[in-house]
Amino acid sequence: MDKLLIRGPVKLKGRVRISGAKNAALPCMAASILTDESVRLTNVPDVADVISTIELMRYMGSDCSFDKEKNILKIEGGKLTKCEAPYDIVRKMRASSLVLGPLVAKYKKARVSLPGGCAIGVRPIDLHIKALAQMGADIRNEHGYIVVEARQLKGIKFFFDIVTVTGTENIMMAAVLANGVTVLENCAKEPEVVCLAKMLKKMGARIEGEGTDRIVIEGVRYLKGCSYKLISDRIEAGTYAVAAAITRGDVIIDNCEPEYFDNVLLKLEEAGSDIRRMKNAVKVSMKRRPKPFEIVTMPYPGFPTDMQAQFVALATLAEGSSVVKETIFENRFMHIPELMRMGADIEIKGNTAHIRGVKKLSGANLMATDLRASAALVLAALAAEGESVINRIYHIDRGYAHLDSKMKKIGARIERLK
Ligand code: UD1
């Protein structure tokens, strides 16, 4: 298993190029199931979750080719021979359940392993299932798999009791080929949901209201192929922005859409960073110790849960006490015990972390536990004094394209140990 060796402290300086959004790539790849024609996606990030989704598409019989240098993924439509997401793939990547909606819509059946618990909480998909059942699908649970069959899905009115990103995406993909009109209320408004809706529209789907609480979809009979560019990864961009701040560096973050992570940039400004927003780039510099801040994670446009761990890392070095409340996932503080081993002063009360800033962190042997927790450890290690070794970095590789080489280019002393 690969490890990362990081020597701190460093001041990051230079320019880093952001990859395409992992969380846009996964639903857009699933959307290719809806057409018999070919789909060409550009700005696709070379991350392990994309590779796992390619593995899943190939398992089902699809023909995929991924040019990792050019970040272009081609998927030939209409080739599926199996409508199944097996346990071994779903276990690695819970977002595999995104194939459920498109499989049932196009092939009238799906067999998808139920995602179990995962490091950051239970994460059920009950709302995806409830909506599909209402659309007329017959659903049963067999040997740990959810088996869905439907003659023809029908349009429905549905209210999501909880705002769910992949739930909104799954049901939107089911509805595009359903009979009649579907009205979804309390939808997720994340830029990745909008990115998927725009792709579906390019394929001929009739969708209105993406990016708002209420999405209306009029089913069509047929969707065509398309060539489509994914948005950039706002979480990767936000992570490099915090990296610049925590190391009191000066970094230009390129190939990103600053308006999609303004929630993060505003919080960095509150913490004392200088931010210059440009058209497709943002410059982040920090000259002093961070000022303390308060964060409550919320669905978009609120502060993203996927940036919570990185900001906890930043708060450990602040001049004063910060408060970070996690409202989306119940077990998303696993970076905290590791940060405390580096000298951070943090107390967890329920879903809230109280962080008293310290003057310095010291390098340590660390364990990555999930994708964003691992990113927080990298950030802390860059700012800490001495050497840190981060174990189990496959978590980082799931969502950060070439993190070690990108970090090295902006001055990090970082090595991947095989
Ligand atoms: C997506 C993102 C993930 C991000 C999360 C929240 C992808 C591939 N992943 O995950 O990076 O951290 O949004 O922004 O886009 N819930 C239910 N029942 C359901 C569905 C969800 O109770 O049927 C709950 C979840 O347990 C969680 C909350 O709703 O507490 C939000 O989860 P959701 O938005 O569905 O997360 P994902 O779509 O899995």
The answer to whether 309 and 375 have CB atoms below 8 angstroms apart is: yes
Best mutation site among 96, 165, 170 for ligand 1, i.e. most ligand atoms within 8 A of its Cβ? 165
Residue type, 200: L
Q: Which position among 28, 64, 83, 118 bears the catalytic label?
A: 118
CB contact set of 343 (below 8 Å; sequence gap of 6+): 358, 360, 361, 362, 384
Spacing, Cα 101 to ligand 1 middle (Å):
16
Cis peptide before 258 (omega within 30 of 0): no
Using the mean position of ligand 1's atoms as its centre, give its distance from the Cα of residue 96 in Å: 13
CA 57 to chain CA centroid, Å, is 19
Cross-sheet strand order for the sheet of 3-8: 365-367, 386-391, 3-8, 413-417
pLDDT of residue 77: 86
- How high is the pLDDT of residue 93? 87
Q: Domain map of the chain by residue range?
A: 3-19+232-417, 22-229
CA–CA dist 395, 397 (Å, integer): 6
Helices (H) and strands (E) counted in the chain, each on its own, are 14, 24
Top-level class of domain 3-19+232-417: alpha beta
> In terms of C-beta distances under 8 Å and separation of at least 24 residues, what long-range contacts does 391-394 make, across chains too?
391/1, 391/3, 391/365, 391/366, 391/367, 392/1, 392/367, 392/368, 393/1, 393/2, 393/3, 393/4, 393/368, 394/1, 394/2, 394/48
Please say whether the dihedral angle defined by the alpha carbons of residues 55, 56, 61 and 66, taken in this order, is positive or negative. Answer: negative
CB 125 near ligand 1, within 6 Å: yes
Dihedral Cα 377, 379, 383, 385, nearest 10 deg: 20
CATH fold for the domain made of 22-229: UDP-n-acetylglucosamine1-carboxyvinyl-transferase; Chain (3.65.10)
321 with 354: CB under 8 angstroms? yes
DSSP 8-state class, residue 121: B
- The pick from 161, 162, 330 for probing ligand 1's pocket by mutation, whose C-beta has the most ligand atoms within 8 angstroms, reads 162
Q: What is the pLDDT of residue 122?
A: 59
Residuewise pLDDT in 10s, the chain (418 residues): 899 999 999 999 999 999 999 999 999 999 999 999 999 999 999 999 999 999 999 999 999 999 999 999 999 988 899 999 999 998 888 899 999 999 999 999 999 998 755 555 556 899 999 999 999 999 999 998 999 999 999 999 999 999 999 999 999 999 999 999 999 999 999 999 999 999 999 999 999 999 999 999 999 999 999 999 999 999 999 999 999 999 999 999 999 999 999 999 999 999 999 999 999 999 999 999 999 999 999 999 999 999 999 999 999 999 999 999 999 998 899 999 999 999 999 999 999 999 999 999 999 999 998 899 999 999 999 999 999 999 999 999 999 999 999 999 999 999 999 8
* pTM, two decimal places: 0.97
- Cβ of residue 123 lying under 6 Å from some atom of ligand 1: yes
Q: Does residue 308 line the site of ligand 1, with CB under 6 A?
A: no
Short-list 49, 137, 155, 62, CA closest to 100: 137
The residue nearest atom 17 of ligand 1, judged by CA position, is 124
Domain 3-19+232-417 and domain 22-229 have a common topology: yes
Query: In terms of DSSP bridges, do strands 181-185 and 215-218 run parallel, antiparallel, or are they unpaired?
Result: antiparallel
Tell me whether strands 39-42 and 226-229 are parallel, antiparallel or unpaired.
parallel
* Contact yes or no for 102/317 (Cβ under 8 A): no
Integer angstrom CA distances of residue 173 from 84, 127, 321, 409: 17, 14, 44, 39
CA of 124 to the centre of ligand 1 (A): 8
Kindly state if the Cβ of 97 falls inside 6 Å of ligand 1. Answer: no
Ligand 1 touching residue 95 (CB < 6 A): yes
* Alpha-carbon distances, residue 328 vs 122, 171, 278, 313 (angstroms): 11, 20, 31, 19
Å from CA of 92 to ligand 1 middle: 16
Q: What is the pLDDT of residue 339?
A: 98
Residue 116 confidence (pLDDT): 59
Pairing state between β 181-185 and 157-159: parallel
- Atom 34 of ligand 1, residue of closest alpha carbon: 164
Ligand 1 centroid – CA 165 distance (Å): 6
Whether 28 is catalytic is no
**Test site for ligand 1: of 22, 23, 92, 166, most ligand atoms within 8 A of the Cβ:** 166
Confidence at residue 119, expressed as pLDDT on a 0 to 100 scale? 57
For 64, 190, 323, 367, 394, the CA distances from 227, given in Å and listed in that order, are: 14, 22, 44, 40, 30
Q: Which amino acid belongs to residue 21?
A: A
Q: How big is the chain, counted in residues?
A: 418
